[in-house]
Amino acid sequence: MIQTQNKKIYKAVAETVKQVSSSSYFIEINCGEKINIKAGQFISIYCNGLTLRRPFSVYSNKNGKIGILFKERGKGTKYIKSLKTGDLIDIIGPLGNGFNIKDKKSLLIGAGIGIAPISFLKSQLEERNITCIFAGGFLNKNEIPIGINIDKIYTDDGSYGGKGSIIDYIEGLINEYKPEIIYACGPLIVLKNIALAGQKHNVETQIAMEKVMACGIGVCRGCVIDIKKDNKIVNATVCKDGPVFSGSEVVWR
């Protein structure tokens, strides 16, 4: 492990690498030491031959082994998918801020690959004996990762669980479960609807934003969003100021 001013670079080893659904993969990375990571934070992986690292939300963190869940979307993820057990892997992390865990009845919502940090959050809440329920949304049953523990599942085509977008069920989940706080990650449209529903029902929301990143440390300003602060609209970077924000502070377009 090499420590720099603002980050830690780990020379780690790839262990488990496997496909866990029709479109998603899981890799476990052995960093050789215990790393304190808050759910919602991410790591950045160097992909051989590519200039920019690739950011990934943390899916699990046990005994110095970090798990990530990802889809193949380009050269970076194709490289990571190709890794074999024992291959060396260079990571930086943890980066960004995580969820601010509170001892409140919690509703967790993840959509698509956004289930990764929410699944990690669920494990951290359960360690603290905080009551929570986890709802996940997918395109179809084949998109659901093997081995993931989700309480309520919805699929767009109705092939498993409730039929339709998870957006259609947000109001029902709030009315049925009556949460004191909502944590979420997923596509922007899902997060927007969750934040607005939280405001409507006077329920706090914390959302982990998904955004294309370049540097991952707030320098390049490539992942800027608008937030409300002190009655003003200001810029914030998802990688450094986030990726977790209060749903009420984000300026939704």
Report domain 106-210's class: alpha beta
- Which CATH number is 2-95's, of 2.60.40.10, 3.40.50.300, 2.40.30.10, 2.40.50.140? 2.40.30.10
Which residues lie closer than 8 Å to 158 by C-beta, 6 or more apart?
A: 164
Q: Over range 97-108, report the average pLDDT.
A: 97
| Relative orientation angle of helices 170-177 and 188-200, to the nearest 10 degrees | 40
Instruction: Measure the CA–CA gap between 39 and 116, rounded to whole angstroms.
Output: 9
Q: Is the pLDDT of residue 175 over 80?
A: yes
Looking at residue 221, what is its pLDDT? Answer: 75
Query: Cα separation of 64 and 227, whole Å?
Result: 35
Indicate whether 191 pLDDT > 70: yes
Task: Give the pLDDT confidence score for residue 115 in this predicted structure.
Answer: 97
At 7, is the pLDDT very low, low, confident or very high (cuts 50, 70, 90)? low
- State the pLDDT at residue 6: 47
8-state DSSP, 208: E
Enter the pTM of the model: 0.93
Going 90 to 43 to 213 to 241, the CA torsion angle's sign is negative
171-180 mean pLDDT: 98
Check residue 194 and give its pLDDT. Answer: 98
Per cent of the chain over pLDDT 70 is 95
- Domain locations in the chain as residue ranges: 2-95, 106-210, 211-253
Predicted confidence at residue 202, as pLDDT, reads 97
